[in-house]
């Protein structure tokens, strides 16, 4: 379903300090700006539930949200502004991740999150998938040597495609699940969007891909 146009979205985003007007100007300085030693980037935030809730859950981590659709981005940022107290570990980019390698310096990002990305089911549109080899090359540039991609989706075809794309690009599969929520994962929040699939009995597919290097501890320690 196409997102309706929000006439207030553009002006609203321009007024919010959490929205970075020129992301490339912060390349190499994101951690310094947010005063955090670890940087996570969510590409395709949708309406912002994951970005907002994870930033609250892990205040010692810097969280940057990215969304191409200006209307959806406005809803995500509005969710942030409606918090009783806005966390100081968050920033937002409204833009196309095709140029993500200009927004972050080489090796600057610790973890990239791909949550329920658009599956682009038609074969001619597969190049638009966020797990396409062209995007993977950009991720490899901005991730640290043992950086991770954490991916969740409800779409089995996209999941299978992604497993093959990352394998062909030489990434190591650290974790994989074809029914991620069959066990409790308190370290990873469940958004309203994800809960809809769970209520229908739809399995959630998840994989963690490692760029290279030694396996590191899970980024979200159990509490």
The answer to whether the annotation marks 194 as part of a ligand binding site is yes
Residue whose C-alpha is closest to residue 172's, from 143, 201, 205: 143
45 to each of 22, 35, 155, 213, how far by Cα in Å?
A: 18, 22, 17, 28
The answer to whether the annotation marks 152 as part of a ligand binding site is no
How many CB atoms are located within 10 Å of the residue 143 CB? Answer: 25
The answer to whether the annotation marks 67 as part of a ligand binding site is yes
List 118, 146, 179, 188, catalytic entry: 118
DSSP H helices in 58-191: 70-81, 100-103, 133-142, 156-168
The answer to whether the annotation marks 42 as part of a ligand binding site is yes
The answer to whether the annotation marks 191 as part of a ligand binding site is yes
The answer to whether the annotation marks 5 as part of a ligand binding site is no
118 is catalytic: yes
The answer to whether the annotation marks 98 as part of a ligand binding site is no
Binding region for substrate = 122, 154, 191-194
Binding region for S-adenosyl-L-methionine = 42, 67, 96, 118
Binding region = 42, 67, 96, 118, 122, 154, 191-194
| Residues with catalytic function | 118
């Amino acid at each position: 379903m196409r997102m309706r146009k929000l006439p207030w979205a553009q002006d609203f985003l321009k007024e919010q300090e959490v929205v970075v007007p020129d992301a490339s100007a912060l390349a190499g300085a994101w951690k310094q700006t947010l005063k955090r030693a670890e940087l996570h980037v969510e590409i395709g935030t949708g309406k912002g539930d994951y970005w907002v809730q994870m930033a609250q859950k892990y205040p010692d981590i810097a969280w940057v949200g990215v969304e191409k659709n200006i209307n959806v981005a406005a809803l995500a940022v509005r969710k942030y502004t409606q918090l009783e107290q806005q966390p100081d570990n968050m920033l937002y980019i409204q833009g196309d991740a095709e140029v993500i390698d200009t927004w972050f310096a080489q090796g600057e990002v610790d973890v990239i999150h791909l949550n329920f990305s658009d599956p682009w089911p038609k074969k001619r549109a597969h190049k638009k998938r966020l797990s396409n080899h062209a995007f993977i090359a950009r991720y490899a540039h901005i991730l640290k040597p043992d950086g991770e991609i954490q991916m969740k989706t409800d779409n089995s075809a996209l999941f299978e495609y992604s497993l093959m794309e990352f394998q062909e690009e030489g990434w190591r599969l650290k974790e994989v699940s074809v029914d991620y929520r069959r066990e409790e994962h308190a370290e990873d929040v469940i958004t309203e969007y994800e809960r809809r699939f769970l209520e229908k009995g739809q399995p959630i597919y998840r994989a963690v891909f490692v760029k290279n290097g030694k396996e590191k501890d899970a980024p979200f320690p159990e509490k």
